[in-house]
Chain A
């Protein structure tokens, strides 16, 4: 997309900047939390807060994989459509009498297949991921529309409801635990393994990474697979929570997920970002939408806030540097 410039100072300054970004974001999260508890008397209630986590858990699961993908310099705009297709596949399986375990397997498998399809097109044929995934975004959801039309699948088995509606302990939902585990796994993968270093290297300089012995194509393919798998997991949770499938399920989520990743401090051009940042960004977005919801602000106005956040978090630091250097 844009020209990639080589930073004047490496690592140390960059790391400091990242750290300050996350602490800034943490302050924002705390500020929103405090503002919410003053704005609405219903906010500080364990069950309400537990409900609030559903605003971001499913999106955040995908956002972790998306963060790795964006750090490596690619993007996947088809994630919400993968949810729709995986959910449709599960709905169709229900009609044939498949049980809860089978449904989960079908959901995850559909996600993996879609991710592999994206990955083959991008790494196998060397196509730009933004066009490929705009295409598969229409294709995957389009298949759901062909299968379902204006109908809906219902009648999910009662033990399937646990994934989206179950509680592990008191107010701690199954989805929240899953979110925490996935966050931990991705944090370890990105920040503590060779694979994670390879992701950063590819994002900063794909050709350089190739010549230092990193299998760029394979790493990117795995990242697309992971994003597909996460979309499959999110589809299981969301379908189980809603108890029904329509082809319009999760419309527009790709935007919110990309916003979450960028808000978390991941460079949209690739090369930098962290999982803790994305985790805090998930909480920020969840708290904002939940707080506004308690104040009876309609969803579309929330989307102005989300869109403004997306531009603002990138624009403000740049305006600040421009103002300081003049």
Chain B
């Protein structure tokens, strides 16, 4: 099992190295360390969201509301910043995480207590969250000059040569690697998605585990919401519109099985980096940015095909399942 996961991530690392090599062959300036760090920084929001999404997908759910959560939380903290410019940024961050957590809990409660399919819940909350932004602002933008300087400066502030945004992504990767591999909650996420029946008999409350997955995803989305609006210094209804699909794509490319139970934080990180490198390289290699959508779509399909081949149990299938029927 571990061998299989290792090989899948090794495969992805080879793919990323190959991708970088092709770009470097024509445009050596792209792979200098300073630019690679800039690419990492630019990909940090995607890395953060992909980790949250991975945990949700592990439990056999999906969270399509992350981008809307991000946009709503970003707008809420921007409005708070306008109302109280003197409020220290640490409180803004806490409010962002807290508000995102509440939105995630709302998804989680509907999935846990009412047993509504996650895709239905999050498709619904996706539109509701975005609609609420419109109700809050009547479609107006919060622009750079309305935000306080400290509000805008935090994600860009330099610490040991890296922006805070990058450090937050690194810290989150480390934190959740520990949570997923060293805590009983982490094991519960794998168990709840890998085999819900067995998990129930092992004393794990599957619904509650899914609730916690949505809560974590919401908390991360809220934090990313603040980072996003302060980094780009603008908040409006359509912030990060459609980004939820990129996040799911990063997970799928990173080897997270949509059927639940399989995936690692490292895989999600690699999947996000893969998409981040492509997004940053397209303008450099003179490919129209319009082609990015098709490329990430193609990457999802190729990744899911490769993953399915790796998952196929070797040997002869004696009793066919409908999934194997041609």
Residues of A at under 8 Å CB distance from B? 1-3, 75, 121, 123-128, 130-132, 134-143, 145-146, 149-150, 202, 206-207, 209-210, 215-217, 247, 255, 258-259, 262, 268-269, 298, 300-301, 303-304, 306-308, 310-311, 314-315, 318-319, 322
Segment 293-326 of B: residues with Cβ below 8 Å from A: 293-298, 300-301, 304-305, 308, 320-326
**Chain B neighbourhood of A140, CB < 8 A:** 297
Shortest distance in angstroms between B35's beta carbon and chain A's nearest beta carbon?
A: 26
Contact A217 to B326, CB < 8 A, known contacts A138-B300, A146-B290: yes
Contact with A along B248-274 (1 / 0, CB 8 A): 110010000011000000000000000
**Chain A neighbourhood of B292, CB < 8 A:** 142
Q: Which of B113-121, B147-155, B223-231 contacts A (4 or more CB under 8 A)?
A: B113-121
Set A125, A268, A318: member contacting B305, Cβ < 8 A: A125
User: Chain B residue with minimal CB distance to A139?
Assistant: B297
Instruction: Flag whether B127 is at the interface (Cβ < 8 A).
Output: yes
User: Chain A residue with minimal CB distance to B299?
Assistant: A135
A-B pairs with lowest CB-CB distance, top 8: A142-B294, A138-B297, A139-B297, A304-B131, A206-B322, A142-B293, A135-B300, A307-B127
**Chain B neighbourhood of A318, CB < 8 A:** 114-116
**Chain B neighbourhood of A301, CB < 8 A:** 131, 134-135
Check if A210 sits within 8 Å of B325, measured CB to CB. Answer: yes
Contact A310 to B294, CB < 8 A, known contacts A301-B131, A303-B130: no
Residue from B119, B293, B304 whose CB has the most chain A CB atoms within 10 Å: B293
Q: How far is the CA of A121 from the CA of B132 in the complex (A)?
A: 37
Q: How far is the CA of A14 from the CA of B321 in the complex (A)?
A: 27
Check if A128 sits within 8 Å of B258, measured CB to CB. Answer: yes
Q: How far is the CA of A136 from the CA of B299 in the complex (A)?
A: 10
**Chain B neighbourhood of A137, CB < 8 A:** 245, 297
Shortest distance in angstroms between A141's beta carbon and chain B's nearest beta carbon?
A: 6
Shortest distance in angstroms between B262's beta carbon and chain A's nearest beta carbon?
A: 12
Q: How far is the CA of A268 from the CA of B237 in the complex (A)?
A: 29
Set A2, A123, A141, A259: member contacting B117, Cβ < 8 A: A2
Instruction: Flag whether B128 is at the interface (Cβ < 8 A).
Output: yes
Residues of B at under 8 Å CB distance from A? 60-62, 110, 114-121, 123-128, 130-132, 134-135, 139, 196-197, 237, 245, 248-249, 252, 258-259, 288, 290-298, 300-301, 304-305, 308, 320-326
Q: List 14 A-B contacts (CB under 8 A).
A: A125-B308, A128-B258, A134-B249, A135-B300, A138-B297, A140-B297, A142-B296, A259-B123, A301-B131, A304-B127, A304-B131, A307-B124, A308-B124, A311-B121
- Further pairs besides A126-B308, A142-B292, A307-B125: 12, Cβ < 8 Å: A135-B252, A139-B297, A141-B293, A142-B294, A150-B290, A247-B290, A258-B120, A300-B131, A301-B131, A304-B128, A315-B110, A322-B114
Check if A307 sits within 8 Å of B322, measured CB to CB. Answer: no
**Chain A neighbourhood of B128, CB < 8 A:** 304, 307-308, 311
Q: How far is the CA of A307 from the CA of B245 in the complex (A)?
A: 18
Q: How far is the CA of A312 from the CA of B326 in the complex (A)?
A: 38
User: Chain A residue with minimal CB distance to B294?
Assistant: A142
Check if B123 sits within 8 Å of A307, measured CB to CB. Answer: yes
**Chain A neighbourhood of B304, CB < 8 A:** 127-128, 131-132, 135
Contact A134 to B197, CB < 8 A, known contacts A1-B117, A139-B294: no
**Chain A neighbourhood of B245, CB < 8 A:** 134, 137-138
User: Chain A residue with minimal CB distance to B116?
Assistant: A314
Check if A269 sits within 8 Å of B301, measured CB to CB. Answer: no
**Chain A neighbourhood of B132, CB < 8 A:** 304
**Chain B neighbourhood of A143, CB < 8 A:** 294
Check if A135 sits within 8 Å of B301, measured CB to CB. Answer: yes
Set B116, B320, B322: member contacting A311, Cβ < 8 A: B116
Shortest distance in angstroms between B113's beta carbon and chain A's nearest beta carbon?
A: 8
Residue from A2, A259, A322 whose CB has the most chain B CB atoms within 10 Å: A2
**Chain B neighbourhood of A128, CB < 8 A:** 258-259, 304
**Chain B neighbourhood of A209, CB < 8 A:** 322
**Chain A neighbourhood of B118, CB < 8 A:** 1-2
Check if B290 sits within 8 Å of A262, measured CB to CB. Answer: no
Q: How far is the CA of A128 from the CA of B307 in the complex (A)?
A: 11
Check if A210 sits within 8 Å of B320, measured CB to CB. Answer: yes
Contact A319 to B114, CB < 8 A, known contacts A127-B305, A141-B293: yes
Check if B131 sits within 8 Å of A303, measured CB to CB. Answer: yes
**Chain B neighbourhood of A268, CB < 8 A:** 117, 119-120
Q: How far is the CA of A124 from the CA of B326 in the complex (A)?
A: 6
**Chain A neighbourhood of B300, CB < 8 A:** 131, 134-135, 138-139
Set A141, A206, A255: member contacting B127, Cβ < 8 A: A255
Q: How far is the CA of A282 from the CA of B292 in the complex (A)?
A: 34
Check if B291 sits within 8 Å of A146, measured CB to CB. Answer: yes
Check if B131 sits within 8 Å of A314, measured CB to CB. Answer: no
Contact A142 to B295, CB < 8 A, known contacts A1-B119, A135-B300, A259-B123: yes
User: Chain B residue with minimal CB distance to A126?
Assistant: B323
Check if B301 sits within 8 Å of A307, measured CB to CB. Answer: no
Q: How far is the CA of A300 from the CA of B124 in the complex (A)?
A: 13
Q: How far is the CA of A1 from the CA of B62 in the complex (A)?
A: 9
Q: How far is the CA of A74 from the CA of B84 in the complex (A)?
A: 49
**Chain A neighbourhood of B288, CB < 8 A:** 146, 149
**Chain A neighbourhood of B115, CB < 8 A:** 2, 318
